[in-house]
Structure 1
Amino acid sequence: LYQEGEYELVLEVRRRAQGYGLYLKYDPTLWDEATLARWLGHYVRLLEGVLADGQRRLGDYALRDGAERVQMAGWQGSERGWALTPVPALFARQVEAAAQALAVSDAQQGWSYGELARRSAEVAQRLRAQGLGAGSVVGVCQGRSVWLLASVLGIWQAGAAYVPLDPGYPAERLGYMLEDSGAAAVLSDATHRQQVEALAGGVPVWAVDEPWTGSSTANLESPQAQDLAYVLYTSGSTGRPKGVRISHGALSNFLQSMAEAPGLKAGERLLAVTTVSFDIAGLELYLPLIVGGECVLCAADVARDGRQLKAELERVRPDLMQATPATWSMLFHAGWRNEAGLKVLCGGEALPARLKQRFDELGTTVWNLYGPTETTIWSTLARLTAQETIHIGRPIANTQAYVLDGAGHEQPVGIVGELYLGGAGLAQGYHGQPERTAAAFIDHALGRLYRTGDLARWRADGQLEHCGRADQQVKVNGHRVEPGEIEALLEQSGLVRQAAVVLREGAHGSQLAAWCVPVEQTQGDGWLESEQVRALQGWLGERVPGYMQPAIWLGTA
């Protein structure tokens, strides 16, 4: 029996008349009996394997028995038999069913399903009149208006794919994404057209909200599941963002799974608050359109301000909203208390325990969502009630999740490994980067899998628990950031010999901190001089969005 003052966990091996006995002494305030019994079972199977064949590597011995393998197979994924019908066809069904129902609205106007269909067809015909269609990539760089959805649907109906471009991003970054994606045109609006023309490098720019007198007799396309839907750029460790290629089939599977759970019904409203350049915006823009709901577009400045966003929620009274933990925390600080019973979706970074507690205090169930861009937005989901501890749940439909060790073997229950994802949501790869694609998307005995770089483990109740990162990648307000990209840019500035960027967790969320060895040394207390900081901020400000700007600057010799 455990006695206070002894080691918290002790394995004793005692010789018996026949063989040996294994005994665990443990502190019951730290360990539960079921976990330790499972560990003993793993240890016994390891010993049996070594006795049967002592020539194998330690990591090659199986720790799970047949019952545990069968049990885990039921957790690792579930299948649905639906067709991977692309969004334009799913949208067309809703147009036919309820053409007069409201499909999308912004602060100025709203369009019915029939009106949105007409406007998107006009955009498609304009693109086809310019010879753009299958195999083309078209940039979308405009404000958050009803024209945004008409632009994307029109691009798809023309047979092309789109690359989302937030007009608030630095011109150099937007120009790089346009060039790297091979965009043949950009759809903008009257407000942003001149700004986009200045960075487009000769690529045609059209304002979709300005009159168009042309015509086209070309037939509109019906994209197939394997066709490219969009190219979305994420932070890259080499100093340049990388484009992730997502197919129509992958997007369709994701949206149909989200329609099932957490769920959205015909006539319900979703408040869309996320920039189009963040992949999770795909749920906000397209989920309402495939179920007969309404997408209410929130202005960018409103979405960034807690008080304004709270007022917008009170005005719109949506049924569902998706946001990062930083946005939900901002709403709480503004006095929001979910009086209307909004369905809450939270993802993009780890759900803080304090934020979960605040939802619990309101009696609000939180849908905790996890997934990298490379597996199409969200790959696992968990419905967290007040009685549950934080986890990321199980895979969405037609998605598989595996926790593997360094040799590619499946880890038993409770053992941390790297999380790999497979299934219908896998991206085609990285745009124009076959070597990087081959390194991240691997062929495994379990199928084609994406190596997430996230650490996880299966809990005894069949839920996945996120356990951090296996590399240096971090999340800042939901955005994925490779510190190496910022470090490379700082070292290219001519102002810094060497830089290191890390994430710091504070009372007000996550912040980036940069440690720099400046070219010109100063006599200080470790902080960079204000002139040096301003120069570095200016350099980065021309190249990366605001969420990639360090908030803390330190110098070192």
Structure 2
Amino acid sequence: MTATGLGESLVFDDDIDVTAGFPFGDACSLPVDCGALRRSRTLSRPCSGVDLLAGTLVVARKYGDGDEVRIGVRRGAVTGTLVARMPADTTLAEHRAAVTEGLVELRAVRAAPKLVCVVEGTDVARDGADLVVSADGNRLHIDAHVHVHDVAFVGRMLGHLANVLDQLADRPDTPLREVSMLTDAELAELHAFNATRTPYPRNASIPALFAAQVAARPDQVAVCDQDGSLTYRELDQRSGRLAGMLHRHGVGRHSRVAFLLEKNCGLMVAVLAVLRLGGAYVPIDKAWPANRRDFLLADSGVALLLADEDVRVDVPVLDPTRPHDTDPPPEVEIGPLDAAYVMYTSGTTGLPKGVLVNHRAVVRLVRGNGYVDFSPTTRMLQTGAIAFDATTFEFWGALLNGGTLVMVPGAAVLNAGDLGAAIAAHRANTMFLTSTLFNQLVEQDPTIFAGCQVVVGGEAVSGRHVAMAAAVCPDAVFVNGYGPTENTTFSVTHRIESRYASRVPIGRPIANATAWVLDHDGNPQPLGVPGELYVGGDGLGDGYLGRPELTAAAFVDRRGERLYRTGDRALWTGHGLLDCLGRTDHQVKIRGFRVELAEVESHLAALPDVREVAVVLVWRAEGVFVLRACYTADTAVEAVDLRAALAAELPDYMVPTSWLRLDAIPLNHNGKVDRAALERLDEPAVPVTGRAPSTPLESTVADIFAEVLKVPRVGADGDFFALGGTSLTVMRLWNRIRSALGVEVELRQLLDAPTPAGVVSIVERGDAAPTALRPRLVRRR
């Protein structure tokens, strides 16, 4: 193969004698060798990253002003059958009839001795990835623009084409889906990326590994909160007593127990008590609406709910903070494949689905891995909601390695001032933050991360914000953590370097994990070619609780390995790192939580007077992604009422922030919802309803609301959340009110009265303390 530079192009030539293996030219009587035409189609796959063999259309265009030919390939077609259906004397009507069979669509009936092949919709002048096949069919020539494709990429492309041609020449009856572009060397390289087997206690359970830490360091602090701490010995003793009490209430091996508990030391007592009995815990967020909570309790089949508040539900409830009669906990043999917990995620059917995760999967996440340094010196700041799967990393990264788990109130991590105080007070050095929250904290004060290991994930990571933090915290470590709940929190990680200004790769599989980029037929894609990302290894969950059909669709066998289909598009870069390119479906990430747009749409469509709905993800000016609900209605139903109705059914992060009432939902040429058009629509002007501010203080607070919401004006009774506020932007509002008014309004007060008039009422009643009197966290000695 030779490569020469021609202006702004690179030309690759390769002499490959393949025509002898293709008996199609004479049979088809085309004025161009059909073997060459067959080869022209194969190139589109590595050129475009689109799987032609799964049915993608390619344009074969004649030089000059000639006619244009469209060629399609049906999945599973055999090469000989495909070309035999293309005789030169076929009429246009016959060609159109062939379209119904999914094989060929012709805009004209003539081909040409030389063809330039590009993917449909590609601008040749701009994208410059084309193949010219000479008349004798022996010389392959690629002309690729250097501004689009580098030498290595085009060289690999030519090698893939040669490999395909060799296979087709040797076995012309091979189904197209079984033809691989990869050379043996490339396949070996992909296997090397997935050679992650590392020694770790693969057959040990979580309680067994915790017991080993109790024996090794009984007097070291295991968990602490703002009210106190427990050593490893104390945590072991208290969880044992609670386990005895739970056993008296029928909890045993394979039982499931739900939690509705505050984030404190008592939560970890309860978690360990359930696990010691061989049971699985089911975390429920206190902020969730009652309907969602009740569904999870029924769907998960829990034997018991542990709650530290009065709650009316249809399952037995026990308050673990109250004294109860107890017995010594029984000795239970717990297997590595026994379920450890059930974590619920959003579902396409409109109902959440529970992911079963076993002990081995948890242990693989935090033992024998090097994406962060786990050790007895680890002081893990617990930042997430208890029903967020990052807790697996937080709980067990600390407690199964002899470290300390630091429990802080949720509000303490939502602004840089309070988070920095918590880090300093507890000497925290390891944490997980969602990308959106991390970005906001960096913009407030990037110095708070000095000396910390920070795993960032849940959404695409901003290289610019990592660079900002790294510039002032050179001793900090920042890691991009990628992974679905179905593969236990993290599947792929990457230690981020400050040189990533925009796109940050997600990296490579962690120890004892695998990651494959596959085409529609389950074949590995070469470097640089997108496909769907599949993940596997010892972190793979056991499926969806009580959902065998969903489990079978998502957990599949590929190449002799059980894998989870993430639904994410990805590719291997030339540096051997995975780059995530977005979704293949309508699932999105909001503040780290997975959201199926179909679930939100299902709840919205069920509301009275709503006719049509569509929910999309849009980028807001304040630098965050939010959900936009577009709807049509029979009556003058207001968005504020729809939002309130959804808030009673769904968690906060699933309630749309932006609302658009339309005359009709736009459709694309296929008759489907035109989501791209909905994403492009301008934000509606926020109406100023209700009375105007009537006092200077009310005006000041209303101006703060408008500033945070990025709207012109807000009325005295304007509801922050109805006007587009979120649980993250309310933290901005809270900080601005405290700094502007010099008073300490409690976050709970603001959430209960989220209007300018409400805030003024709190201040004037004297319920807000002066900022100077604010209690501060004190470093523990």
Name the TM-score, length of structure 2 as normaliser: 0.67
Q: What residue is the counterpart of 1:528 in the other structure?
A: none
CA 1:116–1:462 in structure 2 vs 1: closer, same or farther (change >3 Å)? same
Does residue 291 in structure 1 map to residue 401 in structure 2? Answer: yes
* Structure-2 residue corresponding to 1:525: none
What is the one-letter code of the residue matched to 1:546? Answer: D
- After superposition, the C-alpha distances for 1:391-449 in whole angstroms (9 at most, x for unaligned) are 11111122111111111111111111111112211111101111111111112333111
Structure 2 Cα separation of the partners of residues 536 and 544 of structure 1:
12
Query: Which of 432, 441, 449 is 2:563 aligned to?
Result: 449
Partner in structure 1 of residue 738 of structure 2? none
Aligned 8 A contact 1:157 1:222 in 2: no
Amino acid at match of 2:402: G
Classify the secondary structure of the residue corresponding to 1:78. coil
Query: Partner residue of 1:117?
Result: 236
Q: Does 1:177 align with 2:300?
A: no
1:294-320, Cα deviation, whole Å (9 max, x unpaired): 000120222334432233223223111
The corresponding residue for 2:378 is: 268
Q: Is 1:331 matched up with 2:441?
A: yes
Specify which of 249, 252, 255 is matched with residue 360 of structure 2. 249
Equivalent residue for 2:270?
151
User: How far apart, CA to CA, are the structure 2 residues paired with 1:382 and 1:348?
Assistant: 14
CA offset at residue 178 of structure 1? 0.6
How far does the alpha carbon of each residue in 1:65-123 deviate from its partner, in whole angstroms, 9 at most, with x for none?
A: 11111111100241123232111111111110111101000111111111111111111
Partner of 2:191: 73
1:356 corresponds, among 456, 461, 466, to 466
**Which residue is equivalent to 1:3?**
7
Aligned length: 538
Change (3 A) 1:386 1:171: same
Provide the rounded CA distance (Å) in 1 between the counterparts of 2:567 and 2:326.
Answer: 49
Q: 2:330 maps to which residue? A: 219
Q: Which moved more, 1:385-394 or 1:509-518?
A: 385-394
2:483 is matched with: 371
Deviation of the 1:326 alpha carbon: 1.2
SS in 2 for 1:550: coil
Residue 213 of structure 2 contacts residue 401 of structure 2 at CA under 8 Å; is this kept in 1? yes
Q: Distance in 1 between matches of 2:330 and 2:250?
A: 12
Pick closer, same or farther for the CA change 1:284–1:24 going to 2, 3 Å: same
The one-letter code matched in structure 1 to 2:257 is V
CA contact (8 A) 2:430 2:452 kept: yes
SS at match of 1:262: coil
User: In the alignment, is residue 164 of structure 1 matched against residue 283 of structure 2?
Assistant: yes
Asked if the contact 2:533–2:566 (Cα under 8 Å) also holds between the matched residues in 1, the reply is yes
Give the secondary-structure state (helix, strand or coil) at the position aligned to 1:153: helix
CA contact (8 A) 2:371 2:495 kept: no
Partner AA of 1:313 in structure 2: I
What does 1:16-165 align with in structure 2 at a 5 Å threshold? 20-84=138-202, 85-165=204-284
Structure 2: distance between partners of 1:517 and 1:11: 45
- Counterpart CA distance in 2 for 1:500 and 1:42 is 41
2:424 match? 314
- CA distance in 2 between counterparts of 1:274 and 1:12 reads 51
The alignment partner of 1:282 has SS state of helix
Alignment partners' CA distance in 1, 2:137 and 2:295: 68
Change (3 A) 1:517 1:215: same
2:661 counterpart residue number = 555
Task: Give the counterpart of 1:494 among 595, 599, 608.
Answer: 608
Out of 466-475 and 80-89, give the one that drifted further.
80-89
How far apart are 1:386 and its partner, in Å?
2.0
Q: 2:214 corresponds to which letter in structure 1?
A: V
Task: Sort the Cα spacing of 1:257 and 1:172 in 2 relative to 1 into closer, same or farther, 3 A.
Answer: farther
Mapped to 1, the partners of 2:361 and 2:412 lie a distance apart of 31
The structural deviation recorded for 1:460 is 2.1
**RMSD (Å), alpha carbons:** 1.9
| TM superposition shift of 1:464 | 1.0
- Residue 631 of structure 2 is matched in structure 1 by 516
* TM-aligned CA deviation for residue 268 of structure 1: 2.5
Tell me, yes or no, if structure 1 residue 423 matches structure 2 residue 542: no
Read off the aligned partner of 2:7 and give its amino acid letter. Answer: Q
* 179 and 71 in structure 1: CA distance in 2 versus 1, 3 angstrom threshold: same
Query: Which stretch shifts more, 264-273 or 203-212?
Result: 203-212
Aligned to 2:20: none
Deviation string for 1:236-269 (max 9, x for gaps)?
Answer: 11111000011111111112144x3312211321
Report the 3-state secondary structure (helix = DSSP H, G, I; strand = E; otherwise coil) of the residue aligned with 2:305: strand
1:355 and 1:458 map into 2 onto residues whose CA distance is 24
Tell me the secondary structure at the aligned position of residue 252 of structure 2.
Answer: coil
Scaled by the length of structure 1, the TM-score of the pair is 0.92
Cα offset, 1:30, TM superposition: 2.9
User: Which structure has the greater CA radius of gyration?
Assistant: 2
Distance 1:297 1:339, change over 3 A: closer
Q: Which runs of 4+ in 1 moved over 6 A?
A: none
Secondary structure of 1:25's match? strand
Tell me which residue corresponds to 1:413: 527
Displacement of 1:13 after TM fit? Answer: 3.8
Residues 316 and 496 (structure 1), Cα distance of their counterparts in 2 relative to 1, 3 Å cut? same
State the 1:26 CA deviation.
3.2
Tell me the CA shift for residue 58 of structure 1. Answer: 3.5
The equivalent residue for 2:553 is 439
Whole-Å Cα distance in 2 between the matches of residues 10 and 480 of structure 1? 36
The answer on whether the counterparts of 2:492 and 2:507 sit within 8 Å (CA) in structure 1 is yes
State the one-letter code of the partner of 2:241.
E
Shift of 1:19: 6.4
Within the alignment, does 1:540 sit opposite 2:633 as a pair?
Answer: no
Q: Which SS does the other structure have where 2:236 is aligned?
A: helix
Which secondary structure state, in structure 2, belongs to the residue aligned with residue 437 of structure 1? helix
| Post-superposition offset of 1:8 | 4.9
Alignment partner of 2:317 out of 195, 205, 221: 205
Which has the higher relative contact order, 1 or 2, with Cα contacts under 8 A spaced 6 or more apart? 1
State which drifts further: 540-549 or 304-313: 304-313
| Residues 374 and 339 (structure 1), Cα distance of their counterparts in 2 relative to 1, 3 Å cut | closer
